[in-house]
């Protein structure tokens, strides 16, 4: 079996169960992982639907140009459709979008125009307005307008919703997704509620967006609108694809919480996903901890791939600059010594001790490494693995003093150094660390001590 073009591979993405991040939650959490689409995002689905619907009614003709305002992912889907069908593409993006998205669009042959973020939608410089202007001035061009084009919602009603229903064997009770253009959450929700009216739909919004307050009050409050960094979620307009009657509740997620959750999904679940995926999962898990029951099954849609955000949320320097890098609490060297079982007295050997005698001490003490001293100074170190290799090569070394084959002294660290720092200092050349306590006593910290601290 083979496909006639890349666009035939769109859809049928997997559901993957959470195994770590769902700790403490009753019920089952499944992720609908949309980066398995060829353009690595859920937007591939709407791109092909909007293009083919436009072809059918004559809005898009052979040799035409597709022009769209996008946060990047819809542009990628449209670009793939354009490659397969022979169209040109021009995309407008807000300048908050990642450089990776811009580079990817250019790589598949699109022209990219970057517009300012911090202007209202009606401003002629906004990416909405610039896209419309290009459409008005370029002959034989098609402006899909994913925000108000109901083919967007229809794509998910026809594909994503049925997939989720079939994959869960109709057992789904809750659906959660980020809300941007609204097509995904509304299209999927419409289909699921037609199968079972009790399916609960949770919309994930971001601070700086109007959706949550509009759902709760019916008021479009411009005071709610302010710049935010998360891409592909929230809006300062009300797209026609957002059907508020199909969304039971909204929950808001901060840029920081979304970024941290995205990194946790990669590290703890092996799901290397995008920034708004972190929004969707953080919001869904927060809601689920209070509301999900034992027999409930929640599906959380994760729209895109982490490669779009390598220069942002997956870049430690960028995360630190924005105050987003999660702070993990690590044990200190002092904690390790305090929690150690048994004697903490350090065993050392003088530099003139014979190698044979040093081996006996290692065996008697059941230790793998030992500091070497001379005149109360730490002058070297011995490890059993290195001793073994040297004695195999030169057995006569047994009678020589350890000063002849000792390695450099173990490094001293501060009692306040944390586990992450300590682990970075232990390597092939430095098998242990030394630390001096408040009473001026010296203690050794080994790889075993670090592993023990990690597991506690």
Query: Binning pLDDT at 50, 70 and 90, where does residue 328 land?
Result: low
* pLDDT tens digits, one per residue of 181-198: 999 999 999 999 999 999
Tell me how far CA of residue 233 lies from CA of 20, 252, 274, 361, in angstroms.
Answer: 25, 11, 11, 64
Tell me, what's the pLDDT at 414? Answer: 78
The SS3 assignment for 226 reads coil
Do the first three CATH levels of 6-41+150-321 and 45-142 match, i.e. the same topology?
yes
Residue 411: CB atoms within 10 Å: 16
* pLDDT tens digits, one per residue of 154-164: 999 999 999 99
The yes-or-no answer on residue 32 being catalytic is no
Tell me, what's the pLDDT at 416? Answer: 77
Query: Binning pLDDT at 50, 70 and 90, where does residue 341 land?
Result: low
Q: Where are the domains of the chain?
A: 6-41+150-321, 45-142, 333-455
Nearest 5°: phi and psi at 86?
85, 35
- Topology (CATH level 3) of domain 333-455: CBS-domain (3.10.580)
Maximum pairwise Cα distance, the chain:
94
> What stretch of H or E contains 191?
helix 183-195
The SS3 assignment for 447 reads helix
* pLDDT tens digits, one per residue of 205-252: 999 999 999 999 999 988 888 888 898 899 989 999 999 999 999 999
Q: Which two tokens stand for residue 173?
A: 């009770």
**Gap between the Cα atoms of 170 and 454, Å rounded:** 42
CATH class of 45-142: alpha beta
Mean pLDDT across 284-313: 95
**Gap between the Cα atoms of 57 and 89, Å rounded:** 20
pLDDT above 60 (res 351): yes
pLDDT above 60 (res 343): no
Query: Binning pLDDT at 50, 70 and 90, where does residue 342 land?
Result: low
pLDDT above 80 (res 365): yes
Mean pLDDT across 381-393: 81
* pLDDT tens digits, one per residue of 20-45: 999 889 899 999 999 999 999 999 99
Instruction: Look over the chain and give the mean of its residue pLDDT values, rounded to a whole number.
Output: 91
CATH 3.40.50.1100 fits 6-41+150-321, yes or no: yes
Torsion on CA atoms 240, 241, 246, 247, rounded to nearest 10:
-100
pLDDT above 60 (res 327): no
- Contact yes or no for 292/174 (Cβ under 8 A): yes
Strand partners, 205: 252
pLDDT above 90 (res 264): yes
Query: Binning pLDDT at 50, 70 and 90, where does residue 456 land?
Result: low
pTM: 0.71
Exactly one of 32, 43, 252, 312 is catalytic; which is it?
43
Mean pLDDT across 44-52: 97
**Strand duo 88-94 + 141-142: pairing:** unpaired
Among the ranges given (33-42, 284-293, 340-349), the one the predictor scored with the smallest mean pLDDT: 340-349
Q: At what angle do helices 384-393 and 355-365 cross, to 10 degrees?
A: 140
- Contact yes or no for 328/264 (Cβ under 8 A): no
């Amino acid at each position: 079996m083979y496909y006639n073009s890349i666009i035939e591979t769109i859809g049928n993405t997997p559901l993957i169960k959470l195994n770590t991040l769902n700790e403490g939650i009753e019920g089952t959490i499944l992720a609908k992982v949309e980066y398995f689409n060829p353009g690595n995002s859920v937007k591939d689905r709407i791109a092909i639907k909007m293009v083919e619907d436009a072809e059918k009614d004559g809005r898009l003709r052979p040799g035409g140009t597709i022009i769209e305002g996008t946060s990047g992912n819809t542009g990628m889907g449209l670009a793939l459709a354009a490659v397969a069908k022979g169209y040109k593409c021009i995309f407008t993006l807000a300048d908050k979008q990642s450089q990776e998205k811009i580079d990817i669009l250019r790589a598949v042959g699109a022209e990219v125009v970057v517009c300012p973020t911090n202007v209202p939608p009606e401003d002629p410089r906004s990416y909405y307005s610039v896209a419309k202007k290009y459409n008005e001035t370029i002959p034989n061009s098609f402006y899909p307008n994913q925000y108000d084009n109901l083919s967007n919602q229809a794509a998910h009603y026809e594909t994503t919703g049925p997939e989720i229903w079939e994959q869960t064997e109709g057992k789904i009770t809750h659906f959660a997704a980020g809300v941007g253009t609204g097509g995904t959450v509304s299209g999927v929700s419409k289909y699921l509620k037609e199968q079972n009216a009790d399916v609960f739909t949770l919309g994930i919004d971001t601070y700086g967006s109007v959706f949550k307050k509009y759902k709760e009050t019916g008021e479009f409050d411009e005071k709610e609108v302010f710049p935010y960094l998360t891409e592909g979620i929230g809006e300062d307009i009300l797209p026609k694809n957002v059907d508020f009657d199909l969304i039971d509740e909204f929950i808001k997620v901060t840029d920081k919480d979304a970024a941290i959750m995205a990194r946790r999904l990669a590290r703890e679940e092996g799901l290397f996903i995008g920034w708004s995926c972190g929004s969707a999962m953080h919001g869904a898990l927060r809601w689920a901890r209070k509301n999900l029951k034992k027999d409930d099954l929640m599906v959380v849609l994760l729209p895109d791939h982490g490669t779009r955000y390598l220069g942002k949320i997956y870049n430690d320097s960028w995360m630190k600059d924005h105050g987003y890098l999660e702070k993990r609490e690590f044990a200190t060297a002092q904690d390790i010594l305090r929690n150690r079982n048994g004697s903490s007295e350090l065993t050392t050997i003088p530099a003139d001790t014979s190698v044979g005698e040093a081996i006996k001490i290692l065996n008697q003490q059941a230790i793998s490494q030992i500091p070497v001293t001379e005149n109360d100074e730490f002058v070297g170190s011995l490890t059993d693995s290195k001793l073994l290799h040297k004695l195999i090569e030169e057995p006569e070394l047994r009678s020589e003093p350890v000063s002849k084959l000792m390695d450099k002294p173990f490094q001293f660290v501060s009692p306040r150094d944390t586990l992450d720092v300590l682990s970075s200092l232990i390597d092939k050349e430095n098998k242990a660390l030394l630390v001096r306590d408040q009473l001026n006593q010296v203690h050794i910290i080994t790889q075993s001590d670090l592993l023990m601290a990690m597991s506690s």
